[in-house]
Structure 1
Amino acid sequence: MTECATRVLDRKANFIVLLGCNRNIQTLTNKEQQTHGDYRKPNPW
């Protein structure tokens, strides 16, 4: 997994990573997406 794909899991920096690592996000597994939530949407809090 690339650094960008790993960093996207950081909710605090997700909006920054999304700008430059959109393709790398696709490498995340379904389990990882479920664990960390859908970071493509705004956080509920």
Structure 2
Amino acid sequence: MAYSIDFRKKVLSYCERIGSITEASHVFQISRNTIYGWLKLKE
């Protein structure tokens, strides 16, 4: 499933504010690996 850029930004912003990728994965119902992948792309 492809996620929109806006959704990715929202998730990454949440991660930065809260400081927990695990919590963000639960809130947005996506895998931690997906978030880690997005963080790698951001670098």
- Normalization by structure 2: what TM-score? 0.32
- Normalization by structure 1: what TM-score? 0.31
